[in-house]
Amino acid sequence: MRVTLIHNPGAGKQEYDAKALRKLLRRAGHKPRYQSSKEKGWDRVLGKRADLVVVAGGDGTVASVARRMVGRGIPVAVLPMGTANNIARSLGLLKKSFEELVEGWRDARRVPLDVGIVCGPWGERYFIEGVGAGLFAGLLVNSEKDKGKKERENKTKGPARVVDGALRRLKEAAESAEPVEIGARLDGVDISGSYLLFEAVNLPYIGPNLYIAPDNRAGDGQLEVVLVPEAQRGRLVKYLEHWHENRERLSLLPSRRGKHLQIEWTGFALHIDDKLRPKRKPEPEDVAGLVDVRVDGAAVEFLGAR
């Protein structure tokens, strides 16, 4: 197959460098066209002819590619090299070696993964993992402030330790965080309230492997909106404290399912996948207004595990 290979050389797991990745694909009979995601204008290569687009990187790189592949009709395969690997985990890819994944592409099952759309004062954007406010958005705000320090620390740690550290910081924040007042409607039903965690998620996992939407399935055309009020603080803290023991059993947080979410955004920290709104030094008209979140048929085909 003609393969376009998008590689993030700065991703957490670097057992394979650019040369080794190309060799791996050629050995399986593919014709790879290599592109580093760190280069300016990297996405132009996605316009060239290919039978398959392969992403070797973490969730950020996979999502960046997926957002650009909507409507193109070319499947995407993932070689998970990131820290959390939520997308690959949701597709059942983490239990196989890269060699097994590559060998399985020719007859792999194709999984349509919904791509959500969020519209706000800043414009329109696709998302893969989710949109939310409260605890996780707060973690991203703090990570942005200490971005340089965190990047230096992460280079000396393995992905598991990075995830563990992020969940530990979330637990500490959950013990004392102030709830966020949010006005919202889901499929026309008022779900407004004061929430420690408010997440409209498209995958079972989000952020640092937070397994908060067990009913989500790839391509099911639904968002799961997880709503954790003050009364559920203890349950949330317990999950974040004991996630490594049995996160699937402990993940039962209050949630609702739907296709169309509207948020009355008053300028509180809001994340769209790993991007934050408002941006630093935003224009006044970009810090408040209606945020419209929906799943309406946009999808990208991924190669799942056999």
State the pLDDT at residue 157.
Answer: 56
**Mean pLDDT computed over 73-90:** 94
Q: Is pLDDT at 282 greater than 60 in this prediction?
A: yes
**Confidence category of residue 137, pLDDT binned at 50, 70, 90:** very high
**Mean pLDDT computed over 104-125:** 93
Q: Same domain, yes or no, for 242 and 199?
A: yes
First-last CA distance in the chain? 18
Q: What is the pLDDT of residues 91-114, one digit of tens each?
A: 999 989 999 999 999 999 999 999
pTM of the model: 0.88
State the pLDDT at residue 13.
Answer: 66
Q: Same domain, yes or no, for 166 and 254?
A: yes
Domain end: 108, 130, 154, which one?
108
Q: Same domain, yes or no, for 96 and 176?
A: no
**Confidence category of residue 213, pLDDT binned at 50, 70, 90:** confident
Mean residue pLDDT across the chain: 89
State the pLDDT at residue 149.
Answer: 47
**Confidence category of residue 50, pLDDT binned at 50, 70, 90:** very high
- Determine what percent of the chain is predicted with pLDDT higher than 70: 91
The closest alpha carbon to 90, from 114, 69, 125, 67, belongs to 114
Domain end: 58, 80, 108, which one?
108
**Mean pLDDT computed over 193-213:** 90
210-211/205-206 β-pairing: antiparallel
d(CA 234, CA 302): 37
For the ranges 206-210, 263-267, 302-306, the one whose mean pLDDT is highest? 263-267
State the pLDDT at residue 251.
Answer: 56
Query: What is the domain extent for residue 52?
Result: 2-108
State the pLDDT at residue 214.
Answer: 82
Identity (one letter) of the amino acid at 158?
Answer: G
Does residue 302 belong to any structural domain of this protein? no
Please report where in the chains the tokens 């207004």 appear, as a residue.
Answer: 289
Number of domains in the chain: 2
